[in-house]
């Protein structure tokens, strides 16, 4: 009975995790104030009020050679909401008008839909700052196992400031197989947590255990500027 209960809990958790989808739209702009104004107008429009997602505008910071300056994300609770949004976006004249406006003030960098593989159960919507590690993973099951062992030990030792998880791009344009995110309430807290993690022996052990199956392609910070809906 206990084994069945644990299996059921695990199945429910996985279903919850994979029922959430985030559409990432990363772009470069030299006119961020106009992007903010256009996004605000879009979300206040009749069309914008019907979008079945939480919409966020982020600034991309310290991302080395990546030209991305900002990102917009759409957080969908399930597949039906994502499907509804795609259909309405394609059919709405108002949406296409705003799309034309965006194309005149930004340069598209990448677009993809991601879903969490596993995370620590904390809602990421209150987090204001995120650290991201984009990577190529050749043995996902082993990597997830090692990452879970490490993060459970780390959180038991230090606690966590916010959400923490592994994401998987499932559709779209991306040059990595997985990403790890770590949420925090502000930049100072995110950097302090990062410094603590990198200097802890637990991280060194984890890095050694995954060195043959994981290649980090980029690291960067994203700061939430505005949340709509």
User: Is 108 within 8 Å of 66 (Cβ atoms)?
Assistant: no
Nearest 10 degrees: CA dihedral of 195, 198, 200, 204? Answer: 180
In CATH, 116-227 is 3.40.50.2000: no
Sign for the pseudo-dihedral over CA of 25, 70, 21, 147 = positive
What span, in angstroms and rounded, lies between the C-alpha atoms of 190 and 41?
A: 31
pLDDT in tens, 3-62: 433 333 333 334 334 348 999 999 999 999 999 999 999 999 999 999 999 999 999 999
With a cut of 90, say whether residue 193 has pLDDT above it: yes
CA 138 → CA 134, 141, 169, 177, 180, distances in Å? 13, 9, 15, 9, 15
Q: What is the mean pLDDT of residues 134-159?
A: 96
pLDDT value at residue 161: 85
Taking only the tens place, the pLDDT of each residue in 77-98 is 999 999 999 999 999 999 999 9
Q: What is the signed CA dihedral for 78, 80, 81, 84, rounded to 10 degrees?
A: 160
Q: Could you confirm whether domain 2-114 is CATH 3.30.1330.60?
A: no
Q: Could you tell me where in the chain the CATH 3.30.70.100 domains are found?
A: 2-114, 116-227
Q: Which residue's structure tokens are 């950097």?
A: 191
pLDDT winner (highest mean) among 61-70, 142-151, 166-175: 142-151
* pLDDT band of 72, cuts 50, 70, 90: very high
């Amino acid at each position: 009975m206990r084994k069945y209960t644990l299996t059921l809990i695990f199945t429910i958790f996985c279903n919850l995790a994979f029922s959430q989808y985030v559409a990432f739209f990363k772009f470069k702009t030299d006119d961020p104030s106009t992007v903010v104004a256009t996004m605000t107008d879009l979300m206040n429009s009749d069309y914008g009020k019907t979008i079945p997602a939480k919409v966020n505008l982020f600034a991309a910071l310290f991302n080395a050679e990546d030209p991305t300056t900002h990102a917009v994300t759409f957080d969908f609770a399930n597949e039906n909401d994502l499907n509804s949004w795609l259909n309405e976006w394609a059919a709405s004249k108002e949406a296409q008008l705003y799309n034309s406006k965006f194309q005149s003030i930004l340069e598209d960098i990448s677009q993809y839909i991601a879903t969490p593989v596993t995370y620590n159960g904390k809602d990421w919507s209150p987090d204001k700052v995120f650290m991201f590690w984009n990577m190529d993973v050749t043995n996902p099951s082993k990597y997830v196992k090692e990452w879970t062992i490490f993060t459970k030990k780390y959180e038991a030792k230090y606690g966590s400031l916010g959400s923490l998880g592994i994401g998987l791009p499932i559709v779209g344009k991306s040059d990595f197989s997985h990403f790890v995110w770590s949420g925090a309430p502000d930049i100072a807290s995110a950097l302090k947590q990062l410094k603590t993690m990198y200097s802890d022996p637990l991280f060194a052990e984890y890095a050694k255990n995954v060195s043959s199956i994981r290649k980090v392609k980029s690291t960067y910070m994203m700061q939430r500027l505005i949340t709509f809906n």
